[in-house]
Amino acid sequence: MINKFKYALVAGVALGSLAMPLQASAQIKIGFLGGFTGPIESLVPPIADGAKLALSQVNDAGGVLGGKTLELVTADTTCVDATKASDAADRLVNVEKVVAIVGAQCSGSTIASANGIAVPAGVAMISPASTSPAITTLDDKDLVYRTAPSDAFQGEVLSRLILSKGIKSVALTYVNNDYGKGFAASFAKAYTAGGGKVTGNEAHEDGKADYRAEIGSLASAGGDALVILAYGDGSGQTITRQVLESGDFNMFFGGDGMISSAFTKAMGGALDGKFTVTSPGASGGMGTDMFNKAAEMAKVNAKSPFVGNSYDAAFILALAIEQAGSADRGAIAKAIRDVASAPGEVINPGEWAKAVAAIKAGKGVNYEGAVGPHEFDAAGDVAGSYDEATVENGAVKVVGPLK
């Protein structure tokens, strides 16, 4: 699949050209921070493919700034190690000299990368998947954005979903990091306010081989279902397997982090009809349809979580470069809201030539993305949408949109 994209994917340290000014190069680098190893490793390749698709469309349509091509430079955050996330961002910003970053995915990685590297260097970041409410309050100098909604919203959505099924008591366990803590707090508050009871509420550490003590504590507290706010490739998978072995719960709920083909494959059919999750959704409008068709042609898995969000993040950065009229990091950062918000010519996924023409004519652009509009608020957040999804025949199946 990679050979179909007409640009280079840089994974190592480039030599020689780094000493040249960015504007003098025929290529402009955009970074991609992803958890290629760790508890979401099965989710990240499709997310990266979404960003690659956006840049390939731009390059195929003539590139940016009169013919410069965009290059995607990747770096591994591991998702769970803040030091490695900062190191990855440091390489992108200070060695590869990227002008902006798509990423990270895991919230802790985004926070560490932003605070330690990107914000001090004046490099904008657009995360397609970091959902912790803590990102909203970052002192980020208006440099950190995201195309996925905050878990302050997802927690409320998950609460309403569970209550709508008549489930009035749940035990809750969450991974002890920025993602899990923010999601759990939002969910517990909304679920209790809606009349539900959280019988047990316990954090757990990712990466352990045995969670039987935590499971026993949650089981003793009771509850009609177990809510697991963790990662399907990490602790979430281990906890689910050990709960199934013990028989302490037979109904499960979770969030976007639990959506993993590796997880459902490992469980076989044991979760069919027993596991329901909230999944980042799409608007279902023209932009979504156009993205889905392009993704199908490029053999990109558009159904995987956050792929459309990643495409949108990369396309917005390309638009910001064109709007800025240069590869200057500060100018690009200032142009992000301009290209993603009204007024301006409406631009759908893939409509690069139309966007360039509108910018040159002084009309401005208003990007309507693969997952819907991106009217960033003062904190760089978007409202977003979610679907209900469940496990059937050993795979995650979308049931329909949630409100």
pLDDT digits (tens, 9 = 90+) for 90-136: 999 999 999 999 999 999 999 999 999 999 999 999 999 999 999 99
pLDDT at residue 10 above 90? Answer: no
Say what the pLDDT of residue 6 is.
34
Neighbours of 236 (CB within 10 A): 28
pLDDT at residue 159 above 80? Answer: yes
Distances (CA, A) of 156 to 15, 187, 264: 48, 6, 25
| pLDDT tens, residue by residue, 25-73 | 589 999 999 999 999 999 999 999 999 999 999 999 999 999 999 999 9
Of 173, 166, 176, which is closest to residue 187 (Cα–Cα)? 173
pLDDT at residue 18 above 70? Answer: no
pLDDT at residue 15 above 90? Answer: no
Say what the pLDDT of residue 284 is.
76
Q: State how far the Cα of 97 lies from the Cα of 86, in Å rounded to an integer.
A: 15
pLDDT at residue 14 above 50? Answer: no
Residue partners of 193: CB distance under 8 A and separation at least 6? none
What percent of the chain is helix, strand and coil (3-state, nearest 5)? 45, 20, 35
CATH no. of 151-277+388-402 = 3.40.50.2300
State the pTM of this model.
0.89
Confidence of residue 7 (pLDDT cuts 50, 70, 90): very low
User: Could you tell me which residue, 281 or 202, shows the higher pLDDT?
Assistant: 202
What is the rounded average pLDDT for all residues in the chain? Answer: 92
Say what the pLDDT of residue 8 is.
37
- The ranges of the chain annotated as CATH 3.40.50.2300 are 2-149+284-373, 151-277+388-402
For the CA atoms of 290, 293, 296, 301, what is the dihedral angle to 10 degrees?
A: 40
Contact by Cβ (8 Å): 237, 275: no
Q: Which residues pair with 34 in a beta bridge?
A: 76
The maximal CA–CA distance of the chain, rounded, in angstroms, is 67
| pLDDT tens, residue by residue, 214-227 | 999 999 999 999 99
Lowest mean pLDDT among 14-23, 56-65, 224-233, 321-330: 14-23
Say what the pLDDT of residue 25 is.
59
Say what the pLDDT of residue 285 is.
84
pLDDT at residue 17 above 80? Answer: no
Contact by Cβ (8 Å): 92, 98: yes
Q: Please state, for a pLDDT cut of 70, what percent of the chain lies above it.
A: 94
The helices-and-strands tally (H runs, E runs) of the chain is 13, 16
Say what the pLDDT of residue 403 is.
78
Q: What is the mean pLDDT of residues 191-215?
A: 97
Residue partners of 123: CB distance under 8 A and separation at least 6? 31, 93, 98, 99, 100, 101, 117, 143, 329, 333
Q: State how far the Cα of 160 lies from the Cα of 173, in Å rounded to an integer.
A: 18
**Domain at 2-149+284-373, CATH homologous superfamily:** Response regulator (3.40.50.2300)
pLDDT at residue 236 above 70? Answer: yes
Say what the pLDDT of residue 261 is.
87
- Written as one string, the DSSP assignment of 331-374 is HHHHHHHHHHSSSSEEE-TT-HHHHHHHHHTT--EEEEETTEE-
**In terms of C-beta density within 10 A (0-12 exposed, 13-18 middle, 19 or more buried), how is residue 37 classed?**
middle
Distances (CA, A) of 146 to 118, 218, 254, 320, 382: 15, 34, 21, 15, 7
